[in-house]
Amino acid sequence: MPDLEFIADQKAPSVILNTLLRKGAIPHALLFLGMEGVGKQAAAIRFAMACNCIANSVDTPDLCLDEDGVLKNLINKIPCGVCVSCRKILSKSHPDIIEIKPSGSLIKIAQVRDLCHILALKPYEAKIRVAIISDVQAMNAAAGNAILKVLEEPPESTVLILTATEQSDVIPTIASRCQFIRFNPVSEKRIAQMLVEANGITPDSAAIFAAMANGSFKRALDIGSVVELKKRDWIINEIESLSLEEIGKAMFFAEKLAKDKEEFLKYLDILKIWYRDIIVFKYHPEKIIFFDLLDKIQNASGRHTNADIFSKLDAIELSRKNIRANANLRLTAETLLLQVAQTL
């Protein structure tokens, strides 16, 4: 059996997709919503496999959900993962399973025009042709209008699966023509388990990376390294040494943070866990996340009051919202550091 990617902690989406398959009531357009790295793309591929699996009876299709809400590939279940159709989809060589992703930062009109040309033809061999458009919020206006025409007059035997982070990110006229399926953040426990299985790292390290991943397995894979732990230590050391008496140092630090939007967001997540651990240490020290920094956390807990910590957490959350709203990174960083700097 192939090593298919598991979709963890997604019981509700799994039940909905299974129900659509069993009833044979698959809508012409689905919109998978949820943060990056929670299994939307993998679920779309597995759903395409289930729609076209030829090894098992189509009368009782089942995406094979186990007790933990994980989609698994078991014998006599659909998708089987071993028939010609399943293997073609897994190898990305099936002519009727089309995937579109942003080219650079945008999904461009040329990509959608190519898709429309394909959809105007009959499927080559699939029972149900599936077009998967990832990060649909990245469509420019022209591409969005072209997709809207497809949704208004959907081709026969075709399902469009769109993915996005939030419904509000999607053009309303497109969203209104899709059935929503929301994917939840993956639990820290499940992420840690998958990291141990996928990367062979120790459970202790996996627990730290899982906490830093903020519910995204993809992000956990990206940060699961010694280099990322060094970045964590760097940001914590810099923040804890900041002083309002050294404004120049704070502004220089803000310049560093503002160089990369995604890195800035990662650092905010780290700081959120750091301040959370300082609070937790005072009441339940056994429940801190950065347990490898126990001595440092203990020392910091003596310097920060609870009111001080909550104020810093509010500043971090406000910075996150501003960054997501495309606020000026340098100004956001400067404002944050002035709010979290210590008066020594």
Tens-digit pLDDT profile for residues 70-103 = 444 434 466 888 889 999 999 999 999 999 999 8
β-strand partners of 97: 130
Give which of 38, 32, 4 is closest to 218, Cα–Cα.
38
Task: Give the pLDDT band of residue 342 (cuts 50, 70, 90).
Answer: low
Q: What is the DSSP string of 176-213?
A: TTSEEEE-PPPPHHHHHHHHHHHH---HHHHHHHHHHT
Higher pLDDT, 217 or 131: 131
What is the reported pLDDT for 15? 85
Give which of 93, 81, 92 is closest to 5, Cα–Cα.
81
User: Which of helix, strand or coil describes residue 301?
Assistant: helix
Give which of 101, 59, 93 is closest to 78, Cα–Cα.
59
What is the reported pLDDT for 197? 80
What is the reported pLDDT for 343? 45
Give the Cα separation of 83 and 85 in Å (integer): 6
Mean pLDDT of all residues belonging to the chain: 84
Task: Give the pLDDT band of residue 259 (cuts 50, 70, 90).
Answer: very high
Give the Cα separation of 261 and 114 in Å (integer): 32
Give which of 320, 321, 325, 319 is closest to 338, Cα–Cα.
319
Query: Does the pLDDT value for residue 57 go beyond 60?
Result: no
β-strand partners of 131: 98, 160
pTM, two decimal places? 0.72
Provide the total of helices (H) and of strands (E) in the chain, helices listed first.
Answer: 15, 5
Percentages (nearest 5) of helix, strand, coil residues in the chain: 55, 10, 35
Lowest pLDDT segment from 129-133, 227-231, 259-263, 297-301: 227-231
Query: Does the pLDDT value for residue 14 go beyond 50?
Result: yes
Query: Does the pLDDT value for residue 58 go beyond 50?
Result: no
DSSP for residue 81: S
Higher pLDDT, 59 or 107: 107
What is the reported pLDDT for 56? 54
| Average confidence (pLDDT) over 17-36 | 89
Higher pLDDT, 326 or 328: 328
